[in-house]
Amino acid sequence: MKGWRRDDRRVSLVAGVLCLSVLLALTAVCFLLFRAGDQAEYSPLDEEIRNRESLPYWTEVHRAAIKYSVEEARIYAVIQVESGFRPQVESKAGARGLMQMLPSTYREQCALAGVPYDPENLFVPEINIDTCTEYLCVLHELTGSWKWSHVAYFAGIGNVNRWREEGYILENLPSERARTYLERIESAYDAYGVLLQATQSNTSGYL
């Protein structure tokens, strides 16, 4: 009888551990869903868009485009590839928001701009789009190329500088992930360029 009781206790212990593991897994899933804003990736390219103003975050994107002299299509391409239009998403590396910026990079941007630093601001669409667009334009100034600036946005300006010094070109980047990222960005950029051209309208009220 004592042996059976020990076995029963062992079974109960194993069952308890399994239940705890399941509970922890469910908690982790719930946290990820919450952090992602309980949203699936979204693409306006899959819908019939009749005018620019009906595009997600058009006001914020248009303002940033005017402010930093960059095409809306380029901003939308980054949003599409980086977050799938999920403002609350956070990557495994810790990048946050629509255009996915690391808090450490945001801290540097805030210091340069002389504004208070709060990493939670990266989840605010207007702040995220403005800050990340400015950063992308800084990378463009440093690299002299929009394609290289996108690679730097993904892989870091240090890697880009080293790759270029070593003679690599965009077509044979040593990082397959960087090559794939650039291909996705360029594809999205072309698609949004066509979409925005087809939905031209008076946007003066959005300046």
- Judged by phi (left if over 0) then psi (alpha if -120 to 50, else beta), residue 200 lies in beta
Could you write out the three-class secondary structure of 39-83?
Answer: CCCCCHHHCCCCCHHHCCCHHHHHHHHHHHCCCHHHHHHHHHHHH
Q: Which of 41, 60, 71, 82 is catalytic?
A: 82
How far apart are the C-alpha atoms of 128 and 100, rounded to whole Å? 8
Q: Is 206 exposed, middle or buried (0-12, 13-18, 19+ CB in 10 A)?
A: middle
141 is catalytic: no
User: Would you say 182 and 147 are in contact if contact means Cβ atoms under 8 Å apart?
Assistant: yes
Considering only CA atoms, which of 74, 100, 82 is closest in space to residue 191? 74
Cα distances (Å, whole numbers) of residue 199 to 44, 50, 195: 13, 6, 6
**Catalytic annotation, residues:** 82
